[in-house]
Structure 1
């Protein structure tokens, strides 16, 4: 159980009228080394007086059955290391991410059936599923054609556009498809990793299934009686195939490697002709990394480059920038430091501090997470994100800059039952 307070500390913050939120939260998590067949990692929080800030994050929830010493069968929602790049950057290309706070996404597991074989020098995994759960973003509501201003992490579409050189107010309608149209989607994949985990190791993985981002189509019209623009929004599922390869080398406290990912979205038409809709380009993602870890301190440096991956929109009355974006940014460098210090008397201090910077996408992001374990039951914890970002345009499309005024400070206390 936990109690915490979320505060937005930038003087330019204007996403909502409130700048401080109080939460009551809970987490159900199986012990790391538990032999229980049913395993879970579920967390949620209720924001007092601000229902749009409530959240539920089902990161993992699965049943496992060891058929032999080296073979395990899983059914449910489970996280696996499909691709180093996707897990290290929390991009949500392979596995979905929880983006209640888009500046601090958290990886979630795929949902389906898994069969895993673990041998000393190789690991093999098969995956299949008839279900699909996309990325989980911030909550929103539409009231009288306007997006309610109740969640600072929901980026609203333009509230007005210029028609006939006059500022014209916009009214929105979200055409939500039937849940079965979203959830009932097939996917399958496999991965094989071979080599010594404590030395040289290579992993190859493949997945075909729906993208964790929904494509957003829209169409608009002008109501001459009210001189207001009417915009209808509609999400659609689209499929892609992923091929990944990781090469890593570990020596004593050092680990280094390079991870690549080839993302190939399907090119079929998603909407009827009258809809403005996105067209997705193939992308190659590459990320080298190096880290040092002695158990108490860890340092990590990594780089990300995306070649291709542009989103172009076709249709009438196009927005200034595409409403659908596959990747949060196209290029970045990140340096992080982690600590796990024994403070004596059963007390421990955990801290992670990271600095992410991009010249191409023009931003600098500092994130800090900390937890001070007072005892086996009580802990103090906190988070911080501070962002400096330049304006976006057609040459700089990213999901980071829109939160430049959402500098955040959170602190709280937790009790383990």
Structure 2
């Protein structure tokens, strides 16, 4: 369970008066039945106190839904151990060993795990004390229960700490693991490298991932600070790496779509961010990073967020800006030759009509004009470009040409 000690070797127990186990057996059973009925409340007390006291349980690699489940199971197992004779309690140590190993893979410091056991032990003992007062027990019976509870906490915390140390010794150093993660983000596809990174960062080797890149927008802006980067977005874990002024995040998508992640991520003002499509496995992180970079380049206004899922046409245009410019000129040259007010009027009308999914009525509402005005402007655009917006091939060309013009000129519509 998650309770704790005051140092790395043992928990500090309160001074207690002696009481025989036989004398306390009946009271112990009654107390355990009562406290098991209060297990959800006890779990919540431990989780709340732990999150308030330890940053590792607020911002670290532990999924937010995990502590209530693991702590609740740990308290329940401690109650099982309290029904056993001291020499039999070794049978209950598998769970704390699993917990210690898992916390090591999540990068939880030893002191945070110690604090967790200390808090849990205190909550259990306070609960026994309160129950004893409610029952009107003689002090020696409550003291015996509390002393026994600290014995269980001490054994479980020792097993968890031993497992944490052993697992940390098996993992590559964080500096080495970080360098290997950078290698994957830079295009390395070696599965052995991916396996090391998966163990070091507690990541699924073959899970679904996306990559997000975030950097200061064009022009003067304060540099990105690692402390302002969220480690969880929409319940999804993000592992960040700083590459110069850019922050590159590895997103553990699970069942979430990359578009849903992008919708939940909110870069601060003065930032630009791009989100890749979903990829399978750590060996695909390099490709995902390239796609995220391309998505960010589609932000013609220089800031905001672009998700590749929703910006594929614009992304293709950024790959070959020379061809994008050729398409722009081939399709829009007669419009670009107009004076700027006339040019912008036609292009703004086209953009509003496309955004309205071809509805002249809705486009007119956006532009604060009459529906017939929208139709007249579109007809003029068709005459100038010699392309019909009713023809699917022509419509694709006109749409991409408008996107190319916006990307090149930095227009934000």
TM tier relative to shorter chain: under 0.3
Query: Which is richer in strand?
Result: 1
Structure with higher Rg: it is: 2
**TM-score, normalization: structure 1?**
0.19
Higher normalized contact order (CA 8 Å, seq sep 6+, divided by chain length) = 2
